[in-house]
Amino acid sequence: MAILANLFYGFPSRKLKVIGVTGTDGKTTTASLIYHILNSAGFNASMVTSVGAVIDGKNYDVGFHVTTPSSFAVQRFIKKAVDSGSEFLVLETTSHALDQHRVFEIKYEIGVLTNVTHEHLDYHKTYENYVKTKAKLLKMAKIAIINKDDESYALLNLKFKMQSSKLRTYGMGKDADVNPQNFPFKTDLIGEFNKYNILAAISACKALKIEDADIRRGIESFIPPKGRADIVYDKDFRVMIDFAHTPNAIDQILKAVRPKVKGRVIHVFGSAGARDITKRPLMGTMSSKYADSIILTSEDPRRESVEKICNEIESGIKDQKSRKAILRVYDRKKAIEIAIKMAKKGDFVLVTGKSHEKSMNYGHGEVPWDEYEVVRKGLRIKD
């Protein structure tokens, strides 16, 4: 299918520089950062991410629950970028797209790996297979950029024999090629996880020979994509919407916000049905490390029982105090409304898992969903 798509659109990736970004968490923010730095430096760049495609400044929908589109759709977007005069295309590239050859014959100038954490083991079966699939992007690219501090680094280095001449690393330590010591930067983005996203973007832009001053300016003026650590209400209490839907992402976002909260952290989340079930107890564990109140709810349950999903999340919460602070509200709209109603001065409501997505799946196809509108209605009810 991918080769037919390339033939149909004339192998458009050969006519611009494609920067692929893969990883479990941080793909969209990292891709958006690279795109923003390139555009703010005066280059004509386009991007395709899970939030949508931006070609020549115009926004395009990529579909429900889609990160990397189908072979024909992705080639169509690349062709649009070429026709618009784009010099660069930043393409969020998933492990599924790599494994299913959706991105076959795309000429990647740079491949960036953010991290490989617990996710998609229903599909890849083992962590090693998951890393091996991510490594396909790095092998396809002229320059491979990897996170030296991530668990995947050892496997990439030892097992999959990355070609050292094209390898660039980033991390917090001085032994990484790009680190905060040799490339200091200023940012308003919260959390250590975003420092890693920024270091990945810096590495990609330096590999593209973008001036350091332009990179720093781009970082300082960057506004995160919709649904990434997005504070949507900030008065007597705060409400944040975030896409975190893996154990690592939940850990990272809660670890970032907890020290800033004087009152309680109220966390609303669930886990997708018909997907990796092994991550569910870990999600519960991570939430209970930081949250004072947990509201378990629906998140695309598909044909799975929401009660069963919540049971599996709760099985990871061992602390009795945390278990007593758990509510179950299977209707996600009501769960969010209850969380907002519970909030008092100084509290922090964190709603994770759906973010920018425009649909919910209860097992009978996609139905419209708008997390932002649900939060707005909840705030009106409280008022």
Q: What is the CATH number of the domain that holds 243?
A: 3.90.190.20
Same domain? 236 vs 348:
yes
pTM above 0.85, yes or no: yes
Same domain? 15 vs 120:
yes
What is the rounded radius of gyration, in angstroms, for the C-alpha atoms of the chain?
A: 21
Same domain? 85 vs 197:
yes
Same domain? 190 vs 242:
no
Q: Looking at residue 92, which CATH number applies to its domain?
A: 3.40.1190.10
pLDDT of residue 202: 98
Residue 124 has pLDDT above 80, yes or no: no
Q: Which among 221, 254, 273 is the end of a domain?
A: 221
DSSP 205-245: HHHTT--HHHHHHHHHH--PPTTSSEEEEESSSEEEEE---
Q: Taking residues 121-129, what's their average pLDDT?
A: 81
Q: How many CB atoms lie within 10 A of CB 245?
A: 23
Per-residue pLDDT band at 159 (split at 50, 70, 90) = low
Residue 320 has pLDDT above 90, yes or no: no
Same domain? 196 vs 284:
no
Scan for tokens 């509108």, then name that residue: 373
Per-residue pLDDT band at 7 (split at 50, 70, 90) = confident
Residue 161 has pLDDT above 70, yes or no: no
Per-residue pLDDT band at 318 (split at 50, 70, 90) = confident
Give the number of domains in the chain.
2
Structural domain boundaries enclosing 75: 2-221
The tokens for 51 are 């939030």
Scan for tokens 């995160």, then name that residue: 224
Q: Which among 221, 239, 264 is the end of a domain?
A: 221
Q: Taking residues 97-104, what's their average pLDDT?
A: 90
Q: Which among 187, 221, 255 is the end of a domain?
A: 221
Same domain? 270 vs 234:
yes
Q: What is the pLDDT of residues 204-245, one digit of tens each?
A: 999 999 999 999 999 999 999 999 999 999 999 999 999 999
